Amino acid sequence: MPKINVQINGKRYTTEKEVSILKFCQEIGVEIPTLCFHPDIKFHANCKLCVVEIEGWPRLNPACAIKLQEGMKIQTDTDRVHRTRRMILQYVFGEHVTDCKDCLRSNNCKLRKYAKQYKVEKPIFKPRKKNRPLYTCGNTITFDTRKCIECRNCIDVCRKQGIGFINLERKGYRSTVKPHDEPKNDCIYCGQCINHCPVGAIHSRKEFDCVMDEIKNKDKIVVCQIAPSIRVSIGEEFGIPHGQIMTGQLVAGVKKLGFDKVFDVQTGADFTTIEEAKEFVDRLQNNKILPMFTTCCPAWYKYVEQKHPELIPNCTTARSPNMMNGAIIKEYYSKLINVPREKICVVAVMPCTAKKFEVERRELDIDGVPPVDYVITTRELAHMMRLSRIDLSKINEENFDSPIGESTGASAIYGASGGVMESALRTAYFLATGKELKDVNFKQVRGSLKGIKRATVEIEGTELRVAVVNGLGNTEEIIAEIKQDPEAYHYIEVMTCPGGCIAGGGQPLPVNDEIRKKRAEALYQIDTKKKIRVAHQNPEVKKVYQDFFDKSPGLAHRILHTHYEPRSKSEVEMYTCPIMKKFTKKNSNL
């Protein structure tokens, strides 16, 4: 590689990397403001906030789009640059209706930061989009076009996910980003658009205020259950470095919010592993339909229902850990403490926005009682904590409550791409052979950056071909492979969000590959540190099977499994402010 000599703000640098000015400046610690740029997708260069001056070039140029060239002399902070950035920010405030008090992003809002930095706190233009509509898809994701600055990140990331649900209509100042009208094109609620929106114009259904009300309700036992990946990400909301394990602090914080009990969805994940491994071994040994797909990811199985109903028989019927856990709380735990299940309210903290849709699936109800009542995202939980002045960086650790608080290493890694596969393989090996693995690590299926991971695993002479799809955009490749050769794979894991749940649509922001890696590493650390690293050895889980499921045949199947049906497009509701639609829980018996 030839060396490139450049000057940035008068300082000389030599590099071998062929990177954009923006990336290089970020590496050497020169700050350049950006809105439309996100490392996950190709640059747009349309917000023009990152403009810099390059000597000899007639105009200002966007740092995100221009690669370093030999001899470039770059100025990032001149009056000319500031003049443009100030005007751009004024335009942005003229487009983006500032409605900060309801915004979950207000604590780490780029716009507010830049407004202060570039002294544009006083807007000179009237907000021009205040009469634009809001669109809500399936009661889960809301596009607030009043806040949109048309950077198009959501459109690109939705296409990358293989959906292309978001569309740009009309031209010029009239252009609007809105959900697709095409009846075959439907949202899967993965929330990646939220994670890539620079200005908080897209959000998921806000349920935290309902949860606050439930907590205050003295008649109810309000139980919180926490997904595996939250403990390695929530710290970021409180200024703690990426990839820190915050399990104890998180439990303590949730208890301080006033929840009666705090349970671990990792316990539920151990149930899922066992049920799924049982089903897999059954399919394998009795020549039933293969390959089997995992369905822990609610966005993925909605995708199957709407786009590939022919694959429904390939999906495991085992419920997601969240739903299993909720069902066990309402069916088993309620009997233990002798409280009617209607009196228990289960609030799940999830890294995911599609989980908000999952709780509305009535086929998961048990005798008309939903296993989980509310799903809040990591961001919502952090917001609740901030409202209650709880700071996770200054809190003493506490433990999950019994009897749904014990978990194994196998369940921790559910939050990372490849984790479900690895956990299931650990247990499937035991179920198929009756023996424990000497080495429980299946490193071939790990990694948050590769789109598809293929591996062969040997169980007692049988060679298993497995695949892990990391990011929904990669599934069509695998589906095409199995259409061509139905025996290409035995077992396939699909996670909609690149990296897995650690970078889900409800997680703290920003998210990029580096952060994905750090969060995933933290989960694998939890796994390695656990004494028990296979799901079927979880003592609490064993006890529930012994005391509860094994006593009434068919019970486990009734409350731990589900079914899928072909699905047509969900409703897209359009409404305008100030007649804001208030969130209501549909068909809820609460």
Footprint of other proteins on this chain (CB under 8 A)? 43, 45-48, 51, 59-60, 62, 65, 80, 83-84, 87-88, 91-92, 94-95, 124-125, 128, 149-150, 168, 170-175
Q: In what order do the strands lie in the sheet with 344-350?
A: 261-264, 221-226, 344-350, 374-377
How many other C-beta atoms lie within 10 A of the C-beta of residue 571? 8
CB of 173 to other proteins, least distance (A): 4
- Which residue matches tokens 């889980």? 541
CB of 162 to other proteins, least distance (A): 19
CB of 49 to other proteins, least distance (A): 8
Q: How far apart are CA 537 and CA 539, in angstroms?
A: 6
Query: Residue 393 — φ and ψ, nearest 5°?
Result: -80, -10
CB of 117 to other proteins, least distance (A): 18
Structure-derived torsion over alpha carbons of residues 138, 140, 141, 147, reported in degrees to the nearest 10: 110
The closest alpha carbon to 532, from 404, 398, 382, 427, belongs to 427
Q: How far apart are CA 172 and CA 157, in angstroms?
A: 22
47 or 395: whose CB is closer to other proteins?
47
95 or 540: whose CB is closer to other proteins?
95
95 or 406: whose CB is closer to other proteins?
95
| Amino acid letter for position 370 | P
74 or 503: whose CB is closer to other proteins?
74
76 or 139: whose CB is closer to other proteins?
76
CB of 130 to other proteins, least distance (A): 14
| Amino acid letter for position 2 | P
Tokens of 438: 């000497």
CB of 52 to other proteins, least distance (A): 11
* Count of alpha carbons within 13 angstroms of residue 201, beta-carbon side: 35
CB of 167 to other proteins, least distance (A): 10
CB of 15 to other proteins, least distance (A): 20
**Pair 52, 32: CB distance under 8 Å:** yes
Query: Residue 39 — φ and ψ, nearest 5°?
Result: -60, -20
The closest alpha carbon to 261, from 207, 336, 324, belongs to 336
152 or 383: whose CB is closer to other proteins?
152
84 or 562: whose CB is closer to other proteins?
84
Q: How far apart are CA 468 and CA 445, in angstroms?
A: 6
65 or 221: whose CB is closer to other proteins?
65
* H helix or E strand, kind and range, residue 249: helix 247-256
CB of 6 to other proteins, least distance (A): 18
DSSP 369: B
6 or 413: whose CB is closer to other proteins?
6
* H helix or E strand, kind and range, residue 141: strand 141-144
How many other C-beta atoms lie within 10 A of the C-beta of residue 461? 6
- Which residue matches tokens 């999906």? 315
Q: How far apart are CA 194 and CA 207, in angstroms?
A: 16
127 or 510: whose CB is closer to other proteins?
127
For every residue of 151-188, DSSP letters joined together read --HHHHHHHHTT---EEEESSGGG-EEEE---TT----
Beta bridge partners of 348: 225, 375
CB of 65 to other proteins, least distance (A): 6
81 or 234: whose CB is closer to other proteins?
81
CB of 235 to other proteins, least distance (A): 34
